């Protein structure tokens, strides 16, 4: 079954809302759009203003047979809640049927992070003998030094850099602006990339740099995509045969964990990470405590597995 024309207008408007106003990642926008489309195909293209709470509950009961992970079900519910809230605020519908829709409790798990030795091993093994390699080196050093999200890094323009003050302005979730700080080491590689590698990467596709020009580019001169950054990390991890799955977000977790371990104030870490709630930052205190116990049990002769 296909989606009717009337719904197509709703979904296009919703997609634009997620991308522009909410500043969601392209991955999240795609997932939410797919979730909403699947729901309305199941509902036989019922007009959104005809959907009620019971219909949504019926759908959630229906998808149980697919044995989705709790995280997937939670995302589908989040998509429905966001969609109908948008329609209600935009006055497409008179009531919000998803207002009381609740998500299943997600299993709590501590974020994965890298040890100092693992992080240094990765950074030391980036091949900087090519322009693209030097670009990747600057990227990984920047991820580790700032804790920024990969989407925030790929979205950087030259106007966002204040290198004399060791500051970078980033735009996080919900288009929220914040300042992150960079180390002298990360700044050194970033400046080296901008001055020597970036012009060589773009070659003939090298338009004049303006404030709105992207900092990190591919060989066509366009903004570097998140996938390329992930591939750069995978290449190094494979090279050194590190037995961990390392993503850009693991760099972010490692940054936060190290800050907490070294005594940084929780509110400071919250600000640097761009977390809306302090509760999102507090999980790193649990990681730090767990790590301390592991080190104690490993190192102290009288430890009894705290």
Please tell me which residue in 22, 173, 178, 291 is annotated as part of the active site: 173
75 is catalytic: no
Q: What is the 3-state secondary structure (H, E, C) of 188-230?
A: HHHHHHHHHHHHHHHCCCCCCCCCCCECCECCCCCECCHHHHH
The SS3 call for residue 232 is helix
Rounded CA separation 190/25 (Å) = 24
Residues 6+ positions from 219 with CB-CB distance below 8 Å: 132, 201, 202, 203, 205
298 is catalytic: no
249 is catalytic: yes
Please tell me which residue in 32, 86, 193, 284 is annotated as part of the active site: 284
Instruction: Name the DSSP letter for residue 111.
Output: P
The answer to whether residues 203 and 213 touch, using CB atoms and an 8 Å cutoff, is: no
296 is catalytic: no
Interaxial angle between packed helices 53-63 and 26-42, expressed in degrees from 0 to 180 and rounded to the nearest 10: 100
E strands present in 32-142:
none
Helix then strand count (H, E) for the chain reads 13, 3
27 is catalytic: no
The SS3 call for residue 180 is strand
178 is catalytic: no
Rounded CA separation 49/18 (Å) = 21
DSSP 78-101: HHHHHHHHHHHHTTSSSS-TTTT-
Instruction: Give the number of C-alpha atoms closer than 13 A to the C-alpha of residue 288, restricted to the C-beta side.
Output: 16
Residues 6+ positions from 56 with CB-CB distance below 8 Å: 80, 97, 98, 101
Please tell me which residue in 149, 187, 198, 258 is annotated as part of the active site: 149
Rounded CA separation 221/191 (Å) = 18
The answer to whether residues 182 and 190 touch, using CB atoms and an 8 Å cutoff, is: yes
Active-site positions read 149, 173, 249, 252, 275, 284
């Amino acid at each position: 079954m296909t989606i009717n024309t009337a719904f197509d207008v709703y979904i296009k408007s919703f997609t634009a809302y997620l991308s522009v106003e909410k500043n969601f990642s392209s991955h999240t926008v795609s997932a939410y759009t797919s979730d909403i489309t699947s729901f309305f195909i199941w509902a036989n293209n019922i007009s959104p203003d005809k959907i009620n709470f019971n219909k949504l509950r019926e759908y959630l009961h229906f998808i149980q047979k697919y044995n989705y992970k709790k995280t997937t079900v939670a995302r589908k519910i989040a998509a429905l809640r966001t969609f109908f809230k948008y329609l209600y605020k935009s006055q497409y519908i008179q009531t919000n049927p998803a207002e009381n829709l609740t998500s299943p409790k997600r299993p709590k798990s501590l974020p994965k992070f890298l040890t100092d030795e693992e992080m240094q091993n990765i950074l030391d093994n980036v091949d900087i003998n090519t322009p693209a390699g030097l670009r990747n080196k600057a990227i990984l050093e920047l991820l580790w030094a700032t804790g920024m999200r990969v989407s925030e890094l790929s979205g950087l323009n030259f106007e966002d850099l204040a290198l004399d003050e060791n500051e970078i302005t980033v735009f996080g979730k919900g288009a929220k602006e914040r300042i992150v700080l960079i180390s002298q080491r990360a700044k050194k590689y970033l400046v080296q990339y901008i001055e020597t590698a970036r012009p060589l990467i773009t070659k003939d596709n090298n338009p004049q740099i303006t404030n709105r020009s992207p900092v990190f580019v591919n060989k066509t001169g366009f903004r570097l995509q998140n996938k390329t950054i992930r591939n750069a990390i995978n290449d190094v991890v494979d090279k050194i045969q590190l037995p961990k799955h390392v993503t850009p977000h693991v760099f972010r977790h490692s940054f936060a964990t190290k800050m907490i371990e070294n005594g940084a104030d929780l509110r400071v870490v919250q600000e640097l990470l761009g977390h809306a709630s302090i509760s999102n930052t507090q999980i790193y205190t649990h990681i730090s405590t767990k790590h301390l116990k592991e080190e104690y049990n490993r190192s102290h002769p009288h430890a009894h597995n705290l």
